[in-house]
Amino acid sequence: MSKKGPILVAMSGGVDSSVAAALLVKRGYEVIGLTMQIWQESQTDPRHAGCCSLGAVEDARRVARVLGIPHYVMNFKEEFRGAVIDNFISEYAAGRTPNPCVQCNKHVKFEYLLQKMKELGCEKLVTGHYARIRFDKKSGLYRLMAARGNEKDQSYVLYSLEQRQLKDVWFPLGDMPNKAATRQLATDLGLSVANKPDSQEICFVSEAGGYAEFLKKHRPDIFSKGELVDSVGNRVGEHEGVAGFTVGQRKGIGLSPKHGKPLYVIELKPAENKVIVGEADELLETEVPLDELSWGSGEVPAGPVRVLAKIRYNMTAQKATLIGGEYPRLSFDEPIRAVTPGQIAVAYRGKTVLAGGTISSRSVVNRAHATSVSR
C-alpha cells in the first residue's frame, strides 16, 4: 500500500511538532522533517530551548530517528536576524514593544518553509501550532480558526497567514483537547520530548537581565538617562533609557506609590526621551489604532464590523467594532487595560480569525478623530 503525501513537518525539537510528525506517520503519510536553525546559541535553560537553540536541533533529530523519517537542518540565521532580531531592537528603540514570535511566523517560518515545501515536492507544510484551517466551499476561502481546546490556542500569533499560505498549511494539533493530551500521546508513542518544558521566554534572549540586557548589549546607544513625568508633564523622577520600559509596567520604575496608589508606565516618548507614568485608570482605553491590518480571511467588509478582539495572547477576547479605511482601529465596548504600541490586536468572528494588525501609537487615534471631525 503506497503512502500518502509527502508532507513537510517543521520540527522545532519540542513536544508539539514532534507529536504532529508522529501523528502523520501513524496515519500513513510519507513525512519529511525539517528543523530551522535560526539562532546560534546552545541553551541549557529549558525556558530558552525553543526552536532557536542547538539543543532543540538535536531533540528534533532524535525524534525523527525514532519515527524513521528523513530529517534535515537548514540554516536561516541571516533571515531570522534581519526579520526578527533587527526588528526587535528597532521597535524597542522607537518606544514600541514587539512580538518576535509573530514576526518569525510572518517573515520566516511561513515564507521560507513554504518555499522549501514546494521545492521538495511536498503537498502540505505541517507545524505543531494549536489552530485549525477550514475550507469554506460556499466562499471558496480558507479560514484560520481557533483551536478546539482554548487552553493552548495559538491562532492569535498566526493571524497574518494569507490565503496563499493557508491553502498549503496543516495544523494537526488544532483538534487536541489540551496540552496534557498531547504530552500523553507523546509518552504513548515513546518520544523522548514528552515531558520537555514549554519555552517561556524570548528564544534569542539568554541574558540574565532579560530583554533589557540584550538590548544594552546590541544597542547601548538607545539607553540614555531621561525624565519620568506624569500625565500632565510634571517631572517625578529619572530613568536609564526608554527602551527598558513597556506600557503597563509597574515594577522597575523606581517610584513610590502616589497617594497610596501604585504608578504604571502609561506612554513612551522616545523622541523626547521621556517615560510617562500614571495611575491604573490612566491605562484604560477603548480605541486601539492599528498598522498593517491583515485580512487573512480574504474578505474585507464594506464598513465597520462587530467582532470579538484581543490585544494580548492570553487575554479573553472582548466585544469591539473593527473599523477599516485610512485609519484602521478597534473600538472596544468597554475600556481595556494597557494598550501597547508594537503588540498585536486580533479580531475574531466566532472562532474564525477575521483580521489583525500591529497596535500603533495614540497619535494615530488622535489623527483619526481629527479627520472624522473635519469631514
Q: Which three cell numbers stand for residue 346?
A: 486580533
Do 144 and 272 belong together in one domain? no
Contact assessment for residue 76 and residue 112, using Cβ atoms and an 8 Å cutoff? yes
Query: Is 152 strand, coil or helix?
Result: helix
Evaluate whether residue 198 is within a structural domain.
no
Evaluate whether residue 9 is within a structural domain.
yes
d(CA 277, CA 266): 5
Give the up-direction half-sphere exposure of residue 187: CA atoms within 13 A in the CB hemisphere: 8
Do 264 and 335 belong together in one domain? no
Do 77 and 148 belong together in one domain? yes
Do 174 and 236 belong together in one domain? no
Contact assessment for residue 368 and residue 289, using Cβ atoms and an 8 Å cutoff? yes
Evaluate whether residue 258 is within a structural domain.
yes
pLDDT digits (tens, 9 = 90+) for 121-146: 999 999 999 999 999 999 999 999 99
Do 122 and 168 belong together in one domain? yes
203 is catalytic: yes
Do 241 and 287 belong together in one domain? no
Sign of the Cα torsion 282, 284, 286, 288 reads: positive
Do 144 and 158 belong together in one domain? yes
Do 272 and 349 belong together in one domain? no
Mean pLDDT of 158-172: 97
Q: What is the DSSP string of 214-273?
A: HHHHH-GGG---EEEEETTS-EEEEES-GGG--TT--TTS--PPBTTB--EEEEEETTTT
| Residue 206 pLDDT | 74
Evaluate whether residue 80 is within a structural domain.
yes
Give the domain-ending residue among 161, 188, 215.
188
Q: Number of structural domains, the chain?
A: 3
| Residue 373 pLDDT | 37
| Residue 2 pLDDT | 64
Q: For residue 236, what is the domain's CATH number? A: 2.30.30
Do 106 and 157 belong together in one domain? yes
Evaluate whether residue 23 is within a structural domain.
yes
Evaluate whether residue 183 is within a structural domain.
yes
Query: 22 forms bridges with which residues in the sheet?
Result: none
Cis peptide before 177 (omega within 30 of 0): no
Assess whether pLDDT exceeds 90 at residue 308.
Answer: yes
Domain, as residue range, for 44 = 4-188
Evaluate whether residue 119 is within a structural domain.
yes
Express as a percent the part of the chain with pLDDT over 90. 79
Q: Which three cell numbers stand for residue 261?
A: 496608589
Query: 35 forms bridges with which residues in the sheet?
Result: 73
Q: pLDDT class for 370, splitting at 50, 70, 90?
A: very low
Query: Is 279 strand, coil or helix?
Result: coil
Contact assessment for residue 266 and residue 250, using Cβ atoms and an 8 Å cutoff? no
Assess whether pLDDT exceeds 80 at residue 313.
Answer: yes
| Residue 61 pLDDT | 95
Q: What's the chain's average pLDDT?
A: 90
Contact assessment for residue 254 and residue 277, using Cβ atoms and an 8 Å cutoff? no
Do 345 and 359 belong together in one domain? yes
Q: What is the DSSP string of 183-209?
A: HHHHHHTT-TTTTPPPP-S-TT---TT
Do 155 and 257 belong together in one domain? no
Do 57 and 172 belong together in one domain? yes
101 is catalytic: no
d(CA 85, CA 103): 9
| Residue 245 pLDDT | 95
Give the domain-ending residue among 278, 311, 345.
278
Q: For residue 10, what is the domain's CATH number? A: 3.40.50.620
d(CA 353, CA 143): 7
pLDDT digits (tens, 9 = 90+) for 62-118: 999 999 999 999 999 999 999 999 999 999 999 999 999 999 999 999 999 999 999
Assess whether pLDDT exceeds 70 at residue 42.
Answer: no
Distances (CA, A) of 189 to 4, 67, 183, 204: 21, 9, 10, 30
d(CA 179, CA 157): 17
Evaluate whether residue 212 is within a structural domain.
no
pTM: 0.90
Q: Tell me which of 51, 101, 122, 203 is the catalytic residue.
A: 203
Q: Tell me which of 51, 52, 104, 122 is the catalytic residue.
A: 104
